[in-house]
Amino acid sequence: MNVQNATKLLTTLAVYWTTSVGVCNITEMAEWPNPQPADSRSLLLTPSSESSDSIASGPDVSGPASSKPDSPRKPRMYYSDTSYGRPFAKDPDVVRFKGKYLMYYSINRRKKGIAIGIAESNDLESWKKAGEILPSAKYERRGLAAPAAIVIDDKVHLFYQTYGNGRNDAICHALSRDGIHFNRNPTNPIFSPAGEWNCGRAIDAEVIEHNGRMLLYCATRDPAMKIQMLTVAEAPVKSDFGRNCWTQMCNESILKPELPWEKNCIEAPAVCRHNRRLFMFYAGAYNNQPQQIGCAVSADGFSWERLSALPLLPNGQSGEWNSSESGHPGIFEDEDGQMYLFFQGNNDNGATWFLSKMKVEWESNKPYLIRPGDGRTFRLK
């Protein structure tokens, strides 16, 4: 989709939103009520067969962070959440906030359902659980997952998806002044895509500020619920990010599976900026098929081009900790400009889930990854 078409679409959809839905609330976040502890109420999860997440049962195994150098079997950062028995931590996203690192991720509370975990760290390697965000609103009754965090004006904005509703899942927004307790946006859910080319579903949110606008990326599916692909919307940065603020910026998928290794799925976009261009790390193929991580580039945030026909970060070899997949990336840029790619993996076809990270470096305006400890590099081919 070229820039001229995107501009025409913006004008058309902006008219639709302001006349048919309402006007975006341009307001300071201070007008929201003070954050209160997350509501502890939750309902029994009944996963939809249309969900892409695999929630298999499996043995309980220990999953603490490792302080040893990376090895194929256990990397230096090797985190999972064992609060509910078996290790389960997926969909990582990290921010630096009030002098520490916070990582938001999906947890499986077994019969209590899917929710969001929060861990904190001082060094990006050793993590300690700091809290949970549990279902409280009616639209979250089956669960909430796949968080994406961004810090604006000393507040954490969390974009996340509802879970277990098939084609009715959508993106939501919440706000926190301490990074632990969140207030939901009163207009939730704030976004799901329109158009005959998709089914209306929205999962796996990602946000980045670009050229004075907030870009929201997420995954949707085709009307048959078979092909997972990406869409994008934008909103004013100085807004409450409510439902009326978002304008869909595409009338077809901005990135859909085309390569053999991507199979029927592109999801989990993770976007960063380097030398005035946007780079997207994305997950190709559904969980454990195996899911692997690719990379694409864009000048405007709407038109994307793959940097390789092969994944940047493949799944591990047999016997390695991530032999079933290296998936669902989350990109984090530290205060010194150093970037890290967080991702999920396992070697038991989804019976357990662990999180790890690699250092991101750049060469000829293309990213490559360095595994801490042994220095192994992963480059585009």
pLDDT value at 215 more than 80 = yes
Which tokens in the block code for residue 240? 């409450």
pLDDT of res. 54: 33
pLDDT of res. 27: 57
CB 104 within 8 A of CB 117: yes
By C-alpha distance, which of 340, 321, 272 is closest to 121? 340
pLDDT of res. 26: 73
**pLDDT, mean of residues 83-110:** 98
CB 142 within 8 A of CB 191: no
pLDDT of res. 373: 82
User: Which of the four pLDDT bands, split at 50, 70 and 90, describes residue 296?
Assistant: very high
pLDDT in tens, 183-209: 999 999 999 999 999 999 999 999 999
pTM of this structure: 0.87
pLDDT in tens, 103-149: 999 999 999 999 999 999 999 999 999 999 999 999 999 999 999 99
Q: For all residues of the chain together, what is the average pLDDT?
A: 87
- Among 1.20.1070.10, 3.40.1650.10, 2.170.150.70, 2.115.10.20, name the CATH number for the domain at 3-22+30-35+62-378: 2.115.10.20
Which tokens in the block code for residue 179? 């990074």
Compute the distance between CA of residue 107 and CA of residue 201 in angstroms, rounded to an integer.
21
pLDDT value at 284 more than 90 = yes
36 against 290, higher pLDDT: 290
By C-alpha distance, which of 266, 289, 280 is closest to 346? 289
pLDDT in tens, 20-53: 346 788 755 444 554 343 343 333 333 333 333 3
